[in-house]
Amino acid sequence: MDLPNIETYLHPDDIQTITTWGEGWTWLAGGTWLFSEPQPQLKVLVDIQPWRWSEIEIQGDNLIIGATCPLIKLLEYPWLAEWTAIAVLKTAITALSASFKVVNQATVGGNICLALSAGTLAPLMVALGASYEIWNLQKESRQVAARDFQIGFKTTILQPGEILRRVLIPLSNLTWQVDYQRFGITATDPALAIVVTARNHQQVRCVIAASVVAPRLLESEIMETAQTEFIACLDSESFIEDAKASAIYRREITEILIKSSLSELILRVQRL
């Protein structure tokens, strides 16, 4: 779709060449969302694709994924077999049921920063204990835990002019047993509920998303009681109520997905 209100398109060589940031400015990554609907509030697009932040590499104890890495690259990359969590990363992308164009063009950073409640990558990143490196216009960086990044529907902790540079996932967490469950009215509809569960030696983690505005992490130290604890926590969550589903329905679906996901985790551990 054309965006007739856009006055300026910038494609700077480097982030530091941007000396100002104002109202109506936005980063342009894959453009699959930005060009999918009118954006009357926007005036300036700053294209970040020329920066080629699409690396997938190991640095120290972390797997690094650059912000402009297209989703398709995550599906096609030759991952190490022992990184069991990668299968779930692929499930999360496939679950988008997005068109060929979106999967080829949309980026990891775009998906995370768009911060839809039904965002597919964010709950997995929270479950895996990922963190995000954020830059400002002076290239000063700060790191924030994925669990603290999204604070509402299409709302993150990014300040004006800040950008997600890369995602860091601890290598040891990639070997966790992880499960991803999603429910939508049809396969192509945005999810009404997403549940990601993960288990390591000390902990069971459960992230609920899509049924609430931003991913929420629940934790338990005992597998046997985790289900009861997580379901009890749902009483204090605020579930989305809209034309697609009531809050009560979303809560029920979330509970069903938690049970199903934890059962799947137990089966996986028994198979080891």
Ligand X SMILES: Cc1cc2nc3c(=O)[nH]c(=O)nc-3n(C[C@H](O)[C@H](O)[C@H](O)COP(=O)(O)OP(=O)(O)OC[C@H]3O[C@@H](n4cnc5c(N)ncnc54)[C@H](O)[C@@H]3O)c2cc1C
Given the rule CB under 6 A, which residues bind ligand X? 26-34, 36, 67, 96, 98, 102, 105-107, 109-111, 113-114, 116, 118-120, 158, 163-164, 190
As measured in angstroms, the least distance from the Cβ of 201 to ligand X is 30
Q: Which is nearer to ligand X, 109 or 129 (CB)?
A: 109
- Nearest distance from C-beta of residue 119 to ligand X, angstroms: 4
Q: Which is nearer to ligand X, 156 or 220 (CB)?
A: 156
Question: At its nearest, how many Å lie between ligand X and the CB of residue 31?
Answer: 4
Choose between 80 and 185: whose C-beta lies nearer to ligand X.
Answer: 185
Nearest to 198 by CA among 109, 129, 141, 145: 129
Q: How far is the CB of 116 from ligand X (least distance, A)?
A: 5
Question: Shortest Cβ distance from residue 113 to ligand X (Å)?
Answer: 3
Query: Which of residues 106 and 265 has its CB atom nearest to ligand X in the complex?
Result: 106
Q: Which C-beta is closer to ligand X: that of 110 or that of 129?
A: 110
Amino acid letter, 127: A
- The pairing of strands 131-135 and 163-170 is antiparallel
DSSP calls for the chain: ---TT--EEE--SSGGG-----TTEEEESS-TTTTTS--TT--EEEE-GGG----EEEETTEEEEETT-BHHHHHHS---TT-THHHHHHHHHHTT---HHHHHH-BHHHHHHH--TT-SHHHHHHHTT-EEEEE-TT--EEEEEGGGTEEETTEESPPTT-EEEEEEEEGGGGGSEEEEEEE-SSTTSPPSEEEEEEE-SS-EEEEEESSSSS-EEEEES-HHHHHHHHHHHGGGS----SSS--HHHHHHHHHHHHHHHHHHHHHHHHH-
Residue 123 tokens read as: 């709950």
CB of 110 to ligand X, least distance (A): 2
Tell me which residue of 108, 259, 109 sits closest to 195, measured CA to CA: 259
- Pick between residue 36 and residue 172 the one whose CB is nearest to ligand X: 36
CB of 236 to ligand X, least distance (A): 25
- Which residue lies nearer to ligand X by CB, 67 or 85? 67
Report the residue closest to ligand X, judged by CB. Answer: 110
